[in-house]
Amino acid sequence: MKYPQLELFYYNECFFCQKVLNELNTLGVKIDYKNIYENQNNLQRLFSETGRKTTPCLFINGSPMFESQDIIDWLRDNKDSLEKN
């Protein structure tokens, strides 16, 4: 089975990021975490690929999705087809 490649751009102090992080933990989804404050390359990449510095941002096979509730809804809708930890 081919799983979608998931990358989450976030930072710890962001309330909306924490909502997404909690959902990822609950679902046990394997994901590549990209903290934008711990690594400036992550922030630069987020901005260069989206024109925004807004978090959380979930890249699904290279396509960005913003808005925490949209991300959570997508994760829940697709949980059975996502790679688990």
Domain boundaries, the chain: 11-81
Tell me the pTM. 0.95
Give the architecture (CATH level 2) of 11-81. Answer: 3-Layer(aba) Sandwich (3.40)
What confidence tens digit (pLDDT) does each residue in 21-60 have?
999 999 999 999 999 999 999 999 999 999 999 999 999 9
For the cut 90, the answer to whether the pLDDT of residue 77 exceeds it is yes
Q: Can you tell me the distance from the alpha carbon of 34 to that of 68, in angstroms, rounded to the nearest whole number?
A: 15
State the helix-helix crossing angle for 15-27 and 68-78, rounded to 10 degrees. 10
Asked if residue 1 has pLDDT above 90, the reply is no
Q: What is the pLDDT of residues 6-25, one digit of tens each?
A: 999 999 999 999 999 999 99
